[in-house]
Amino acid sequence: MTPRHPLTASQFLHYEFCPNWVWLDVYGNHADRAPMSGLLEKLLEQGVVHEQLVIGELQPTKVTATTTAAAAEETRALMYAGVEAIHGAVLTATIEDREWIGRPDLLLRRSGDSAFGRYCYEPVEIKSSHEMKPVQRLQLTFFALLLQEVQGTLPPRGGIITIQGERLYFDPRDTMDRFTTRRREIERILDGQEPPITLTRGCLQSPWAQVCLSRATTARDISLLYNIDRLSIDLLRRNAIHSLEDAAMMDPALISPIPGVSRERLAHIRLQAESFLHQRVHMVREPHVADAGLRIHFDIEADPLVDTEYLFGFLIERDTQDEYIHFLAEHPSDEAMMWKQFLAWIETLPATYTIFHYAPYEKHHVALLAAKYGSTPALERFQERLVDLFEVVQRCVIFPLSFYSLKDICKYLGFSWRNAQSSGTQSIFWYEQWLENNDRAALDAALQYNEDDVRASAFLRRWLESHSTQQLTRL
């Protein structure tokens, strides 16, 4: 009998991003798998540079064996010995004829009965997040079930150590039903059931992103449409609507709506398909952008690996030449000083102005920094004058695109970034290079990327203004 493919904790994360990631890792042509940088692996796994600080504080016993079998045996020996904490543990068990392999960041000893004595172990992960995410609960439940096999008892809790050093716990029994459902979905894939083609933003985080895009493009699949969720895709496929052509020809009145997918939503999907097929932009509402006074564009660059907002960039629209200014934290410890400089600058702004940004990140993180470092009446005015161009685009415009990032839209409209390889992830890499190697060129590259982002925001605002009188397309 052919051995079944093993189940691992990372598959739960990969499935969350893209079910085809799990499939392609097992059955795909690995020549098509893009290499993943160490930085991207860190970001995907929510790994953090504070891990070594945590390890330094706990002083756990480290598993040193290099093969899975030897490391699992060493882990069991350390558990039998009753050490307080184990780093680099490997847990293995055969459950329903399938090998499970788990590598939790830490196993911590706690009181309780187990096969080892009057104690047991609980799994703990070291993460850069501020809260425990649903997929982290699934992974910790996976480790807890492995521990049940190894030590004879299910640990009463699993947890994470956040970037702030806070320990957050939950009871794995509370997640068991959801875990079992997701586990079965992953196991069906491992056993050969290929998931349907579904292109999502999560696919972009996968090393198989180009494969997913190529397959969806070849099939002219409806998942190519922007922001089409799995609920809508399932409804359409049940009604024999699989391709862009099918979607463009559908009559929403003939499809029974379901909760979350109204006939208006179906009409919007139909127009999206028409836009995609004919490469035509549709205005469905007048793109009125509320603005008054001085127009300023705002973009933040952050490094989640050190939990720092390190760059505030602004572009001020001028009649002759737009002006770029920025506030920079050259090191994470400079974040408070950068915030103070930013607060001093907004005091100098005129009585009337509008702050444009793209997507909710800036609004949300300004509020977080205000809670962290303090607010002022001028900051409250600043926050009241924030206008999200992404909301305007989503409400008013249909582009023939699968994704509506600022870069996707502005590149389609003709704007170009000076560094074609620049991205949010790349900017984190540049800042990390600066911190690690004092590489000024890397820091300058991050500054240039930020400047191009706010210039793209101004480019988009002007495009929306110039098309505000365009004839609208009825849904």
Residue 472 has pLDDT above 80, yes or no: no
CA–CA separation, 15 and 230 (whole Å): 14
CA–CA separation, 301 and 303 (whole Å): 7
Joined tokens for residue 310: 């390190």
Task: Write a three-state SS string for the chain.
Answer: CCCCCCEEHHHHHHHHHCHHHHHHHHHCCHHHCCCCCHHHHHHHCCCCCCHHHHHHHHCCEECCCCCHHHHHHHHHHHHHHCCCEEECCCEEEEECCEEEEECCCEEEEEEEEECCEEEEEEEEEECCCCCCCHHHHHHHHHHHHHHHHHHCCCCCCEEEECCCCCEEEECHHHHHHHHHHHHHHHHHHHCCCCCCCCCCHHHHHCCCHHHHHHHHHHHCEHHHCCCCCHHHHHHHHHCCCCEHHHHHHCCHHHCCCECCECHHHHHHHHHHHHHHHHCCCEECCCCCCCCCCEEEEEEEEEECCCCEEEEEEEEECCCCCCEEEEEECCCHHHHHHHHHHHHHHHCCCCCCEEEEECCCHHHHHHHHHHHHHCCCHHHHHHHHCEEEHHHHHHHHEECCCCCCCHHHHHHHHCCCCCCCCCCHHHHHHHHHHHHHHCCHHHHHHHHHHHHHHHHHHHHHHHHHHHCCCCCCCCC
Pairing relation of β-strands 282-283 and 397-398? antiparallel
Pairing relation of β-strands 85-87 and 61-62? parallel
Q: Tell me if 254 sits within 8 A of 276, measured CB to CB.
A: no
From 165-169, 253-257, 273-277, 379-383, the region with the lowest mean pLDDT: 253-257
Give the per-residue pLDDT at 304: 86
CA–CA separation, 381 and 166 (whole Å): 33
Residue 134 has pLDDT above 70, yes or no: yes
Per-residue CA distances from 197 to 22, 45, 69, 184, 187 (Å): 13, 24, 36, 19, 18
Cα-trace Rg, the chain: 25
Task: Write a three-state SS string for 324-337.
Answer: EEEEECCCHHHHHH
**pLDDT band at 12, cuts 50/70/90?**
very high
| Residue with more model confidence, 80 or 40 | 80
Mean pLDDT (whole number) for 79-108: 96
Q: What is the tens place of the pLDDT at every residue in 21-75?
A: 999 999 999 999 988 655 666 665 555 556 777 888 899 999 999 999 999 999 9
Pairing relation of β-strands 98-102 and 106-114? unpaired
**pLDDT band at 107, cuts 50/70/90?**
very high
Give the per-residue pLDDT at 230: 85
Per-residue CA distances from 316 to 59, 61, 359, 385 (Å): 51, 55, 19, 14
CA–CA separation, 78 and 75 (whole Å): 5
Give the per-residue pLDDT at 447: 97
Give the per-residue pLDDT at 227: 93
Chain-centre distance for alpha carbon 22:
17
Q: What is the tens place of the pLDDT at every residue in 154-210?
A: 999 999 999 888 999 999 999 999 999 999 999 999 999 999 988 988 888 899 999
Q: What is the mean pLDDT of the chain?
A: 92
Give the per-residue pLDDT at 475: 55
Q: What percentage of the chain has pLDDT greater than the value 70?
A: 95
| Residue with more model confidence, 91 or 54 | 91
CA–CA separation, 344 and 108 (whole Å): 47
Pairing relation of β-strands 294-303 and 353-357? parallel
Q: What is the tens place of the pLDDT at every residue in 286-298?
A: 888 877 899 999 9
Place of tokens 């425990």: 132
| Residue with more model confidence, 304 or 193 | 193
Helix axes 361-373, 335-346, angle to 10 degrees: 100
Q: What percentage of the chain has pLDDT greater than the value 90?
A: 79
**pLDDT band at 103, cuts 50/70/90?**
very high
Give the per-residue pLDDT at 377: 97
**pLDDT band at 3, cuts 50/70/90?**
confident
CA–CA separation, 328 and 314 (whole Å): 12
Residue 146 has pLDDT above 70, yes or no: yes
Mean pLDDT (whole number) for 127-142: 92
CA–CA separation, 313 and 423 (whole Å): 15
Give the per-residue pLDDT at 38: 57
CA–CA separation, 315 and 58 (whole Å): 46
In order of their start, the domains of the chain are 7-190 (3.90.320), 220-280 (1.10.150.20), 294-466 (3.30.420.10)
Joined tokens for residue 445: 């590259």
Give the per-residue pLDDT at 42: 60
Q: What is the tens place of the pLDDT at every residue in 417-461?
A: 999 888 888 899 899 899 989 999 999 999 999 999 999 999 999
Helix axes 19-27, 176-190, angle to 10 degrees: 40
